Amino acid sequence: MNSSSFFFFKIVIAIKLIIILLISHTTFCAQNSVVENKSKSGTKENITLIDSVIERKVDSVLALMQPNEKIGQLVQYSGSRDITGPSSSKKDQYKLEKLKKGEVGSMLNITSVASIRETQKIVMEHSRLKIPLIFAYDVIHGYKTIFPIPLGESASWDLEMIERSASIAAKEAAASGLNWTFAPVLDISRDARWGRVMEGAGEDTYLTTQIGVARINGYQGKDLSDVSTVAACAKHFAGYGFAEGGREYNTANIGEFELHNTILPPFEAAAKTGVATFMNAFNDIDGIPATGHKMLQRDLLKGKWNWKGFVVSDWGSIHEMMTHGYAEDKMHAAELAINAGSDMDMESYTYEAALKPLIAKKKVSIKTIDDAVRRVLRIKFQLGLFDDPYKYCNNQREQEAIYTPEHLSIAREVAKRSIVLLKNDNDLLPLSKNIKSIAVIGPLANDKNSPLGNWRAKGKYNSAVSLLEGVKQAVGKSTKIYYEKGVDLTIPTVEAGENQFSRPLKFNKDDRSGILEAVEVAKKADFVLLAIGEDAYQTGEGRSQTSIGFFGLQLELLKAIKKVNDNIIIILMNGRPMDLSEPSEIVPSILECWHLGSESGNAIADVVFGDYNPSGKLPISFPHNVGQEPIYYNHKNTGRPPVKNRVTSSGYRDAPSTALYPFGFGLSYTEFKYSNLNLDQAEIPIDGEINLSVKVTNIGGREGHEVVQLYIRDLVGSLIRPVKELRGFKKINLKAGESKVVNFKINAKMLQFYTANKKWEVEPGIFNVWVGGSSLAELKETFTVF
C-alpha cells in the first residue's frame, strides 16, 4: 500500500469511528430516556426499544471488525500484577502485546481500580477499534465483606436477604472496578464428598432455582448499566454437581430425564431471569464434555430458551477436551467448542490459535464467530462500557463503598439467619448472658480465618470475628470465660497471600498436649462451647474427600470433655454435610454454623445467647455416615423400598436408609404446630388450580420464624416420580401463642415434569401433598388431576 492509499485508509477508518461515536451518543441518550420511562412504567415495549438500540450499536461495531479482532473478543486472560508494566514473564509480555492489538475481550483476576484502569487504558490507547475489556472475578459470597458460604446462606431460606447479600457483593466488586462475577453456582449437589458442595444451594432443584434467581437479581439489579451492579454468571452448565463418587472434575452419568427434571431447571430459570452469562462445566455428560456439548449450549440454551448472553468456558476446559479424549488436538478442540456454543475461551489459548485457520478451512463459519462476538459486545453495551470504559474506575467509590459498617451489619444478619439448630435436648440453648462461667474450646474457637470459608474473594486474612470474640462481646462482666484450643486442626495454615491450591491437607494426629488443658477448663465451666468441624480449605474446588468426619483429634477432644462436663454445645463450622452420628449420641446441643463470613462470631453469639431465635433449615441432607452418600430426600421409591427387618429391601444392613438430619430440617427455641390442612378442591383439570391452606401455630414461649414447606408427589407417571418434591415454601414470623393461616396455590407449573414424551407437561392422576417444617412433613392430603 502506497503512502497516499494508506492516508486515505486512515481517513476512512477515522470517519467510521466518528460515525460510531455519534450513533453511540444519540442512542445512548435515547436509551437513557427509555430507561427513565421504564422505571416509571416498566412496559414490554420500552424494554424492546432498549434492546433494539443496543442491537444497532452492536451491529455498527461488528461491521468494522477484522477477523483477528473478532476472535480477540472471544479470548479471556488471567491478569497479574505485572500485566501493565515491566515483567520478566514471557506470558505477561505476550498478553500485553495482545491487549495493545485489541485481541483480548476480557480479563479476570485483576481487582483494583488502579490496575483495572491501567489495563483498560492499554486497550483504549493502543488498539484500533478501542473495544473495552470486561473485568471478571470469582465473587462467590462477598467481595471484601464476606457473607456465609453459599450452602450456609441457603440454609436461611430467606430469598430477600440472599438477594441483598449478592447486591452488596456486587456493589463492593463494582467499586473495585469489576463488572462481572462468576456466580451463582446452580449445580445440584447430593454428595457431601464433593468439595464444591459449599458453593451451591444444596440438593433440591426447586430451592436451588429460587435462590439462584435471587442471587442473579442481587448481582445484576434492575439495570446492568447501574455502576453498583455486575454481570452474573450461571454455572456450571451442566451436571458438575453429579460428579461420580463426589470426585472433583469427574464424569457425570446422567440420564436424559434426570438431566431435564433435576439439573436443568435452575439454569432455565436463570436464562429467563436474564442472567448475562453462563459458564460451562469441566465434566463430561455420558461421554460428551460439557464444553463441547452442542445440545446443551447451542440447541437448548441459545435455541429453545432463546437466551441472548454469552457462554464462557471454565478455566482451560476447551483445551482439556484433548485430555478427555474427545478432541484430537487444539484445532479440533476449538472447532468442537465454538460450534457447540462456547463463546469465550478462558485461559486455554485455544481460540486465538485455532479459530482463524478453522474459518479458512470452513470448519467454523464466520456466522458462528459473529454470533459469539455479538453476544460479548451486547453485554459490554449493556454494562455501559462503550459509553465510558472507565465508569467502574472511581477511586473515591473504592474507598467508601467497600467493607462498610452497614455491609458488616447486614453480613451479621444474614449469618445468624443461616445457622441451623440441629439438636437441643432439655432446651439447653439459649444460654443466659449472666451465666457464671463458660468454656470456649476447640481448634476453631479462636480462628479468625476459617469462618471466611473458601472462595472468599478479597476477604482479608484473619479478618473474621472469632467465636471467642463474639462470646466476649455478648456476655455480662460477671461471666468467667475460659479458652483452650485443645487440638490443632490443620498444619500448616494458609498464610496471607498464599495460593490455597498449593497447600497440602495435613492433620496433626499426635499432639495431645492441649487436650488436658481443655479438660481442666471444662471442669470449671458451667457450659462448654466446643468449636469443631472443618478448616476453610477442606471444601471448595479441588477439595473432594473420601471422609466427611472430624479430622485430627477433634472427636478425642470431644469425648475427653464429655467425661467432665455434660453441658456441651457443639458449634459446628464446616462447608459440607458432616458425619455427626457419634457427636449426636453424646452431646445435648448442636448448632450448624457453617463458615459464616466476616461477622461469624457475633452471629453465633446472637443465637447462643438468645438475641436471635434460630430459623435455619438444612438445604442438604446430613447422613449417618459417608457410606450413605449420595443421599437426598427426593429419591425414587424403587420396587422394594426400605422396610425395617426385611433383608430383601432397598436398604443397608449396618445403617438406616434415611438421613440423620434430613433436608428442610431445623429446630427453633420455640415449637410450631401444623393443623387444618385444607384443599378447596379434590379434583381439578390439567390446567386447573387448587387453593391450599394450613394453620401454623407457635405453641412455644418465644417469638420465632418458621419455614413452611410444601411437598408434592405424583403417585403414578410415565416416568417414576420421586417420593416427595419441594414445590413451595414461605418464611413466616409468629409471636408466642400466635397462629397464622398460610396459603399456597397448586397449579400446572407445580405439577408438570419432563415426561416420557420428552416435553414438560402435567399427567393426569392422583397426587399427595404434604405441608410441614421439613421434608419429614406428615400432614397430608390427596387430590386428583383429570
Model pLDDT for residues 493-545, shown as the tens digit of each residue: 444 444 555 555 566 667 899 999 999 999 999 999 999 999 999 999 999 99
* Window from 3-17, 671-685, 769-783 with minimum mean pLDDT: 3-17
pLDDT at 106: 98
- pLDDT tops 60 at residue 247: yes
pLDDT at 511: 82
SS3 347: coil
pLDDT band at residue 51 using 50, 70 and 90 as cut-offs: confident
Q: pTM value?
A: 0.93
pLDDT band at residue 91 using 50, 70 and 90 as cut-offs: confident
Distance CA 316, CA 298 (A): 20
Whether 201 and 207 have beta carbons less than 8 Å apart is answered as yes
Number of residues that make up the chain: 786
pLDDT band at residue 29 using 50, 70 and 90 as cut-offs: very low
pLDDT at 496: 47
> From residue 52, how far is each of 58, 60, 274, 368, 381 by CA, in Å?
10, 12, 16, 21, 12
- Write out the three cell numbers for 79: 491478569
Cα first-last separation, the chain: 77
Cis peptide before 265 (omega within 30 of 0): no
Give me the mean pLDDT over the 167-180 stretch. Answer: 98
Whether 169 and 139 have beta carbons less than 8 Å apart is answered as yes
Look over the chain and give the mean of its residue pLDDT values, rounded to a whole number: 92
- Write out the three cell numbers for 263: 439439573
User: 19 or 635: whose pLDDT is higher?
Assistant: 635
- pLDDT tops 60 at residue 21: no
* Window from 20-24, 48-52, 363-367, 614-618 with minimum mean pLDDT: 20-24
pLDDT at 368: 98
pLDDT in tens, 679-738: 999 999 999 999 999 999 999 999 999 999 999 999 999 999 999 999 999 999 999 999
User: 644 or 101: whose pLDDT is higher?
Assistant: 101
pLDDT band at residue 643 using 50, 70 and 90 as cut-offs: confident
Whether 607 and 466 have beta carbons less than 8 Å apart is answered as no
User: 38 or 263: whose pLDDT is higher?
Assistant: 263
Give me the mean pLDDT over the 363-384 stretch. Answer: 98
pLDDT at 642: 87
481: Cβ contacts below 8 Å, ≥ 6 apart: 437, 438, 439, 440, 468, 471, 472, 475
pLDDT at 32: 42
535 in active site: no
pLDDT in tens, 744-764: 999 999 999 999 999 999 999
SS3 767: strand
SS3 539: coil
Which among 284, 314, 447, 579 is annotated as catalytic? 314
* Window from 27-31, 69-73, 90-94, 693-697 with minimum mean pLDDT: 27-31
pLDDT at 504: 56
Q: Which residues are registered as beta bridge partners of 661? A: 622
Give me the mean pLDDT over the 83-111 stretch. Answer: 85
All structural domains of the chain with their residue ranges: 76-131, 420-628, 672-785
Alpha carbon dihedral 266, 267, 272, 277, in 10-degree steps, equals: 140
- The fold adopted by the segment(s) 420-628 is Rossmann fold (3.40.50)
Residue 311: enclosing H or E segment and its boundaries?
strand 310-312
User: 315 or 4: whose pLDDT is higher?
Assistant: 315
pLDDT at 109: 97
- The fold adopted by the segment(s) 672-785 is Immunoglobulin-like (2.60.40)
134-137: strand order across its sheet: 180-181, 134-137, 106-108, 75-78, 345-346
- Write out the three cell numbers for 77: 486472560
* Window from 10-24, 403-417, 589-603 with minimum mean pLDDT: 10-24
- Other Cβ atoms within 10 Å of 104 Cβ, number: 24
Nearest in space to 576 (alpha carbons), one of 604, 536, 632: 536
pLDDT band at residue 22 using 50, 70 and 90 as cut-offs: very low
- Other Cβ atoms within 10 Å of 132 Cβ, number: 22
pLDDT in tens, 112-137: 999 999 999 999 999 999 999 999 99
Of all residues in the chain, the percent with pLDDT exceeding 70 is: 90
Of all residues in the chain, the percent with pLDDT exceeding 90 is: 87
The 3-class secondary structure across 720-765, one letter per residue, is CCCCCEEEEEEEEEECCCCEEEEEEEECHHHHCEECCCCCEECCCE
Nearest in space to 288 (alpha carbons), one of 248, 349, 336, 350: 336
